[in-house]
Structure 1
Amino acid sequence: MIRVLLVDDHPLVLDGINACLSGEPNIEVVGQANNGLEALELAEALSPDVVLMDVSMPVMNGLEATKELKLRFPDFRVLILSMHENREYILQLIQSGAAGYVLKDVSSKELVKAIEVVHQGGTYFSSRASDALIRPFDSGRRNTGVSDSRPSLTKREETVLKLLAEGGSNKDIARQLDISVRTVETHRQNIKQKLNIQTAAGLAKYAIENNLV
C-alpha cells in the first residue's frame, strides 16, 4: 500500500484527486494539506510514502516545502502536480529534490503510474513537462557546448540512464535489458560517479538536458 499525502490550496482539486485515487487498491490517501507548512506538519505525523505537492500555495509554496521535506525527511518521495509548465519552475523543483513533475491535465491513469514509479524509487515527468525541459536544447544545443563537455558514458550506461530518467526501477531495467539487477546497480553507481550526480532527480535532469530521453 502506497501512503499518499495530498497538498493543494484548492479544496475542489483535493476532492478530485482524492476521488481519483480512492478506487486504487494499492494507494491510500492518508492526509490532505492546504499549504506547505501544513504539509510539513502532516508529513511528520503521518509518514507518507509519497507527497503529491502543488507549487503555488499561500503560507509556504511547493518549492520551499519540497526543500524542507527533503531536508527533514530524505526518504519521503515528492511528486509535483502543477498547472505550470515553465522550465525554470521544473528545474528548481528537481534541484530541490522532487522525484517527478506532472501537469494537472494528465489522466487519472497517468497520475497513478507517476505515483507508483516515484514510490519505487524512479523519476517521472509527464510529456509536456519533459517537452518544457527539452525544448531549449533542441533549438540551441550546437551553440551551448553541452555535447562537447559531456562526460564520457558507455552506450550501455547511456541506455541505463535513459531508462532511469523515464522512471524505470532497477528491476524494470534489468528485465528490459536482460541483465541482472546487480549489474544495473553497478551501471547506476558508475553513472553517478562519472557525472558527479547523486540523486535520481539529478540524473533525470541531466538525461533530459542532454537529449537522452
Structure 2
Amino acid sequence: MPRSTILIAESSCLIRRGLRSILQNLENVEIMQLIDDKEDVCATVNNKKPDILIINPKMMPSDCINLKKEFMNAHKLSLILLSDQEKLRDQFKADGYIHYQDKQEQILDLIQEVLAKKHKNKIPDKNAETISSREKNILKHIALGLTNKEIADQLYISIHTVVTHRKNITQKLGIKSVSGLTVYAILHNLISMDDVKQ
C-alpha cells in the first residue's frame, strides 16, 4: 500500500499531540505536520499536499472557507473533521468525522476506511496477480484475525504450509504487518470492512 500523509490542524496542543500519537499506530502513514495557527492552514495544505487533512472546523480560515472544492479536488485530499458537532460533517462535505470522545479503535478504523477508499484505484492490478488463489485464501484468513493453527485447521493443511504461504505473501506484497495485509485484503475485495469489525 502506498505511503499516506496526514496533516493535523487543531489549536489544542494536547489534542494535536494525542491524535498524532494514536495515528502512529498505523502502517504506511506519516504525520507531515501539526498546525496550530489557522492562518497557516491553506498555505501548508497547498505546499505539503497531504492525502488527509484532519481539522477542527474552527481552524478553517475565513479566506479559505471553500477548502473542500479548492484543495480537496485539486489535490485529491480527504477531509476529516475533528469536533464535538457532528452536524458540521455535512456542512463541510467531509469524508470522515472524529468526535473528541471517540476511542482509539474508532479513530484508527475511520482513518483506515478513508485510506482504503482513497487508495482503492491506486493499487496496481499486477499486485493482485502476484499472489496465487491459494495465497489469497490464506491472506483472507489472516486478515480475519485467525492464527496459523486456526487457518491450518480450517483449510486442512499443516501449520508449516500456512507459515510458508504467509512468508510468500509478505515477500510478494512487501507488507509485513497484519493491519497492512488487512487493508490490502479489503482493497482487493477479499474481505469487507464489516468482516473486520465483527
Q: TM-score range by the shorter chain?
A: 0.5 to 0.7
1:91 aligns with 2:93: no
Structure 2: distance between partners of 1:29 and 1:170: 22
Residue aligning to 1:141: none
Aligned residues of 2:42 and 2:64 also touching (Cα < 8 A): no
Q: For 1:85-164, what aligned pairs fall within 5 Å after superposition?
A: 85=86, 87=87, 89-94=88-93, 98-121=94-117
Question: How far apart are residue 103 of structure 1 and its match?
Answer: 1.3
Task: Sort the Cα spacing of 1:83 and 1:175 in 2 relative to 1 into closer, same or farther, 3 A.
Answer: same
Q: Secondary structure of 1:90's partner?
A: helix
1:57 aligns with 2:46: no
Structure 2: distance between partners of 1:60 and 1:9: 16
Mind listing any 5+ residue stretches in structure 1 that lack a counterpart? Answer: 123-168, 177-213
1:31 to 30, 33, 43: 33
1:13 aligns with 2:15: yes
Residue aligning to 1:197: none
Pairwise CA RMSD: 2.7
Between the aligned residues of both structures, percent identity stands at: 16
Structure 2: distance between partners of 1:30 and 1:3: 6
Structure 1: distance between partners of 2:91 and 2:30: 28
Question: How far apart are residue 24 of structure 1 and its match?
Answer: 3.0
Task: Sort the Cα spacing of 1:90 and 1:47 in 2 relative to 1 into closer, same or farther, 3 A.
Answer: closer
Larger radius of gyration: 2
Aligned residues of 1:54 and 1:62 also touching (Cα < 8 A): no
Structure 2: distance between partners of 1:23 and 1:170: 20
Structure 2: distance between partners of 1:61 and 1:104: 26
Task: Sort the Cα spacing of 1:109 and 1:63 in 2 relative to 1 into closer, same or farther, 3 A.
Answer: farther
> Which residue identity lines up with residue 30 of structure 2 in the other structure?
E
Task: Sort the Cα spacing of 1:109 and 1:77 in 2 relative to 1 into closer, same or farther, 3 A.
Answer: same
Question: How far apart are residue 58 of structure 1 and its match?
Answer: 6.7
1:77 aligns with 2:78: yes
Question: How far apart are residue 121 of structure 1 and its match?
Answer: 2.0
> Which residue identity lines up with residue 115 of structure 2 in the other structure?
H
Question: How far apart are residue 22 of structure 1 and its match?
Answer: 2.5
Count of matched residue positions in the alignment of Structure 1 and Structure 2: 123
Residue aligning to 2:144: none
Question: How far apart are residue 117 of structure 1 and its match?
Answer: 1.2
Task: Sort the Cα spacing of 1:108 and 1:175 in 2 relative to 1 into closer, same or farther, 3 A.
Answer: closer
Structure 2: distance between partners of 1:111 and 1:62: 26
Structure 1: distance between partners of 2:5 and 2:59: 22
Q: Secondary structure of 2:16's partner?
A: helix
